[in-house]
Structure 1
Amino acid sequence: MTRPNIVFILSDDHAAHSISAYGSRVNTTPHMDRLAAEGARMDALYCTNSICTPSRASILTGTYSHVNRACSIYSEFDHRVSTVPEVLQERGYRTALYGKWHLGRSEASRPRGFDDWRIFPDQGEYVDPLMIGPDGEERLSGYATDIVTRQSLDFLESLEADDPFCLFVHHKAPHRPWIPHPRYDGTYEAGTIPEPETMQDGHETRAQVVRDVAMQLDDLKPDDYKDALPPDLEGDDEDSRRARSSWKYQRYMRDYLRCVQAVDDSVGEILDHLEQRGLAEDTLVVYTSDQGFFLGDHGWFDKRLMLDESLTMPMLLRWPASIPAGTRVTDTVSNVDIAATLLEAVGEEPSVLPDQQGRSFLRQLRGEDVEDWRQAVYYRYWEHDDPEHHAPAHYGVRTPELKYIRYYNDGLGSPGSSDRIMPIEDELYDLVADPREMTNVAGDPAYAQALAEMQELTAQMQAEVGDAPYEGPDTPRLEWPTAR
């Protein structure tokens, strides 16, 4: 068996519903669509902790946040937990990573298992970014997405014909603040972008702690929408707030989609290079994002919550030698399963990562039915009352039919408040009758048995992955630094 090369392209905060291969109503992504048409589209891939650092750690290690210790963006990834690139480097692969790392600030958290790497410190900058490499820091001229693409192509060009390689292309885009390249001026103009059907969601049945999050479109700041707010939208009445939210949505989305466009162009450049070098047939190309993102859905931006727009990760894969064109994978999988899949693709047992907790979905990518596959994913968002968004800590389970979420607020106060004790709150969504998750039915007597079954499944999956449930206000919590 010929060991495939791997090109793993990871963007940040790219929602699946802003990829036209997933039916986007707001933009077109022809190069990502090409991956889907010539390979596979994952239709039920979910992150297990919807925020940058934790998801990236889970992708690299195949472990949940409580194992790799990267529970939040304030955490340091535990490098005692082995990663896919470390294994591949040991097996003779040439390895490289360029772009966003975001797995800690200390020198001990720098990338390992790579022959070459250049990373942005923290979130990085879109224009003339500082990058850190094995030889120190360097400020580069240009646009971050283009720079990462060029570095990736330079690495590919440096390889000998027989070198197996694993290249990680980690774009900063389309992470906030959204700064597109000027070449996309005139695209996706404000006022032309369709609003999501759920944008005016009133959240009447949701948990109180969710209604309090500072993720409403009106919470967007001037740096997020850049244009001057018209004076007639500055009122405090409901009509003004709605009009202002729509106005901000158009401008935030304009810049977000323009940032996405640069990433799509990068995908096209890499695919073209592989074909020109005769490498396409035996190269597994993966495109994904570390989590989803609310694009005005339910009146929100950002991620963190367990609703599908935030929970869902896009993933498009092409490997002509092994994945039939046009494959659609509908089994429920998570980012914890990615490492095992990459390892099996190169002929390694997933157990070569001793801590990994995932299961390979390579058979599904090859078009096979896997009858014993569990159609459920466990999720836990660890941060509680983060300084900006005031999102609540919660955990739960999603199946194709139901989603259960527990907000374990006991003794911690409402987001943004240190003096108000909130009760534990549950949400339950019937994903068959209510796929847009508009109505929480946790308190509906007709769903009492379903609620009990999902609570039992959550406890069962927590036990299986080794994550302890919340046990009261004395349970240790993440503590925030005084400044971000």
Structure 2
Amino acid sequence: MRFVLIGLSILACSACQLVAAELPDIVVFLSDDHTIGDSSLYGSTDLKTPNMDRIAMQGLTFDQAFVASPSCAPSRAALLTGLMPSRNGAEPNHSRPDKEIKKLPAYFQELGYEVVSFGKVGHYRQTPEYGFDIAKHFKYHEDIAVPEALKWLDARESDKPLLLFVGTNWPHVPWPEPETIDAKTIKIPLHHVHTPQTRIARARYYQAITTMDRELGEVFDAAYEKLGDDTLFLHTSDHGAQWPFGKWTLYDEGIRTPMIAVWPGKIPPSKRTEAMVSWVDILPTLYAAVGQTAPEEIDGRSFLPVLLGETDTHRDVIFTVHSGDGNKNVYPTRSIRTPRWKYIRNLHPEFKFTSHILGDTRPQPYWGSWVEKANKVPEAARKVKRYLERPAVELYDLKADPTEQNNLAAYVEHKEKLASLANQLDAWMKTQGDQQKVYGEPTLLKN
């Protein structure tokens, strides 16, 4: 706990006198490209994430948390502005939010916080542009970021309240060689193509998650040892992993994200919630946790009452967007998700869905083995085609079909549901000023 003086004008009061306030410290740990189901906390039976498990025992686990966009730059810009990509200006990957938009560090610096980031918090070199007091080790896979954050925190002597972001690069590619993972025990997802190369690549991915989980535990322990119990700790990931139907897509493996929150004495321990929350909600939630109210003009809304156990609901629907990632992934798409239904609109179904996966030349690439098997096995061919070609509209009943395999858009019995979700998405896109712009040069499907 820190004691600081803050202006009443910051608290939306008219007087200009100063008052003392108690402000909690806040630590946010971001993992990179981590599919939610690839952790024991969220149901994996062949991959243990013991630190996620033990941290969850001390706080609240979100089962329905979602990012705003399934690629790094727009996802992190949404987190750090509280605005969706169409409104903050960072739509395709590697883009930046508009300079004039107020960013998360400024909100807390006005209250007397020291706002610090180590590692990948913004999109690599963009991180300092968000206005952190300190921003270090944000280059691509600068993997000393977490140990350096731990050293900095241990040596810190400031009396200011602290908001610390620590961003690991794991499990973002390139995945390391397996050390503790036995590839033979791995369960390949049913919607992937089973090949020896897939199994080897998945073992590498699991090893990267194991490293992430270790770093998470180290940061969590150091935070409470140094800062004390009046510390709000949040762990989440920017989107799913670089696997087909994950990153760059609006399927749940791309947009649904792990999220755990701990705040001793405030957040009840060992709880789970089905409350639907978005990454744009994180900024106003952290701001509410220190007694402030974020501007109504941002898209995010505080879910602090969910954290405090006062309610188990937040949003009725989640909107997500994706525009592309350079010329390798030009595929604008939008979605609306309810607790049960997912509606995806692919704005240009004449485009081929491409991604970095298709040209992967790292050790043990697997996509080539999928294509080779597709030449011989019809089911493999179906999976490969489904990744590369999408219809204009997709509709999934997530209760009956959680892995989104059976597109119901053409079923007459779901006509009303389809129309209702389409109308809601249209209205939302209009309020966002969504121009449905195509960024980059698409690859067209062959007739």
TM over 0.5: yes
Please give the secondary structure, in 2, of the residue aligned with 1:45: strand
Q: CA deviation at 1:387?
A: 3.5
Aligned counterparts of 2:38 and 2:330: Cα–Cα separation in 1: 23
Trace 1:461-480 onto structure 2 (pairs within 5 A). 461-464=428-431, 466-468=432-434, 470=436, 476-479=437-440
Q: CA deviation at 1:66?
A: 1.1
Aligned counterparts of 1:165 and 1:93: Cα–Cα separation in 2: 5
The answer to whether the 8 A contact 1:89-1:113 is kept is no
Aligned counterparts of 2:312 and 2:31: Cα–Cα separation in 1: 29
Is the counterpart of residue 198 in structure 1 residue 191 in structure 2?
Answer: yes
Indicate which of 271, 275, 279 corresponds to 1:327.
Answer: 271
Moved over 4 A (4+): none
Q: CA deviation at 1:316?
A: 0.8
* Partner of residue 173, structure 2: 176
Aligned counterparts of 1:154 and 1:355: Cα–Cα separation in 2: 38
Is the counterpart of residue 36 in structure 1 residue 56 in structure 2?
Answer: yes
Indicate which of 319, 322, 326 corresponds to 1:378.
Answer: 319
Is the counterpart of residue 360 in structure 1 residue 302 in structure 2?
Answer: yes
Indicate which of 202, 223, 228 corresponds to 1:274.
Answer: 223
Aligned counterparts of 2:131 and 2:122: Cα–Cα separation in 1: 16
Q: CA deviation at 1:271?
A: 2.4
Trace 1:240-259 onto structure 2 (pairs within 5 A). 245-259=194-208
Q: Mark the CA change 1:306 to 1:423 in structure 2 (over 3 Å): closer, same or farther.
A: closer
* Partner of residue 403, structure 2: 436
CA RMSD after TM alignment: 2.5
Indicate which of 141, 148, 157 corresponds to 2:145.
Answer: 148
Aligned counterparts of 2:214 and 2:125: Cα–Cα separation in 1: 30
Aligned counterparts of 2:52 and 2:352: Cα–Cα separation in 1: 41
Q: CA deviation at 1:346?
A: 1.3
1:55-103 per-residue CA deviation (whole Å, 9 max, x = no partner) reads 0001111100012211122312323211222221221112211112454
Is the counterpart of residue 369 in structure 1 residue 335 in structure 2?
Answer: no
Trace 1:44-443 onto structure 2 (pairs within 5 A). 44-101=64-121, 103=123, 110-121=128-139, 124-125=140-141, 129=142, 144=143, 147-160=144-157, 162-179=159-176, 185=179, 187-199=180-192, 245-277=194-226, 279-293=227-241, 300=244, 302-351=246-295, 355-369=297-311, 373-383=314-324, 387-388=327-328, 390=329, 392-409=331-348, 413-415=351-353, 425-443=392-410
The answer to whether the 8 A contact 2:77-2:122 is kept is no
The answer to whether the 8 A contact 1:408-1:424 is kept is no
Q: CA deviation at 1:467?
A: 3.3
Task: Identify unmatched segments of 5+ residues in structure 2.
Answer: 1-20, 355-388, 443-447
Q: CA deviation at 1:469?
A: 6.0
The answer to whether the 8 A contact 1:190-1:250 is kept is yes
Q: When the two structures are superposed, what TM-score results if normalisation uses the length of structure 1?
A: 0.75
Q: Mark the CA change 1:280 to 1:25 in structure 2 (over 3 Å): closer, same or farther.
A: farther
Q: Mark the CA change 1:440 to 1:175 in structure 2 (over 3 Å): closer, same or farther.
A: same
Q: When the two structures are superposed, what TM-score results if normalisation uses the length of structure 2?
A: 0.80
Please give the secondary structure, in 2, of the residue aligned with 1:154: helix
Q: Mark the CA change 1:355 to 1:23 in structure 2 (over 3 Å): closer, same or farther.
A: same
Opposite residue 397 of structure 1, the aligned amino acid is I
Percent identity over the alignment is 32
The answer to whether the 8 A contact 2:40-2:53 is kept is yes
Please give the secondary structure, in 2, of the residue aligned with 1:153: helix
Aligned counterparts of 1:423 and 1:88: Cα–Cα separation in 2: 43
Q: Mark the CA change 1:60 to 1:152 in structure 2 (over 3 Å): closer, same or farther.
A: same
The answer to whether the 8 A contact 1:427-1:442 is kept is yes
Opposite residue 146 of structure 2, the aligned amino acid is T
The answer to whether the 8 A contact 1:152-1:167 is kept is no
Opposite residue 191 of structure 2, the aligned amino acid is T
Aligned counterparts of 1:458 and 1:165: Cα–Cα separation in 2: 39
Q: CA deviation at 1:19?
A: 1.8
Aligned counterparts of 2:38 and 2:51: Cα–Cα separation in 1: 13
Please give the secondary structure, in 1, of the residue aligned with 2:183: coil
The answer to whether the 8 A contact 1:75-1:104 is kept is no
The answer to whether the 8 A contact 1:50-1:381 is kept is yes
The answer to whether the 8 A contact 1:70-1:103 is kept is no
Aligned counterparts of 2:98 and 2:217: Cα–Cα separation in 1: 34
Q: CA deviation at 1:310?
A: 1.1
The answer to whether the 8 A contact 1:304-1:391 is kept is no
Q: CA deviation at 1:54?
A: 0.5
Q: Mark the CA change 1:52 to 1:441 in structure 2 (over 3 Å): closer, same or farther.
A: same
Q: CA deviation at 1:30?
A: 1.1
Q: CA deviation at 1:302?
A: 4.6
The answer to whether the 8 A contact 1:46-1:334 is kept is yes
Task: Identify unmatched segments of 5+ residues in structure 1.
Answer: 130-143, 201-244, 417-421, 471-475
Aligned counterparts of 2:249 and 2:192: Cα–Cα separation in 1: 16
Aligned counterparts of 1:268 and 1:459: Cα–Cα separation in 2: 42
1:430-471 per-residue CA deviation (whole Å, 9 max, x = no partner) reads 11222221100100111111111111111222234x23364x
Aligned residues: 388
1:23-80 per-residue CA deviation (whole Å, 9 max, x = no partner) reads 2123111111122110010110111211000000011111000122111223123232
Please give the secondary structure, in 1, of the residue aligned with 2:102: coil
* Partner of residue 446, structure 1: 413
Q: Mark the CA change 1:81 to 1:480 in structure 2 (over 3 Å): closer, same or farther.
A: farther
Aligned counterparts of 2:269 and 2:22: Cα–Cα separation in 1: 20
Q: CA deviation at 1:304?
A: 1.3
Q: CA deviation at 1:413?
A: 4.2
Q: Mark the CA change 1:281 to 1:255 in structure 2 (over 3 Å): closer, same or farther.
A: same
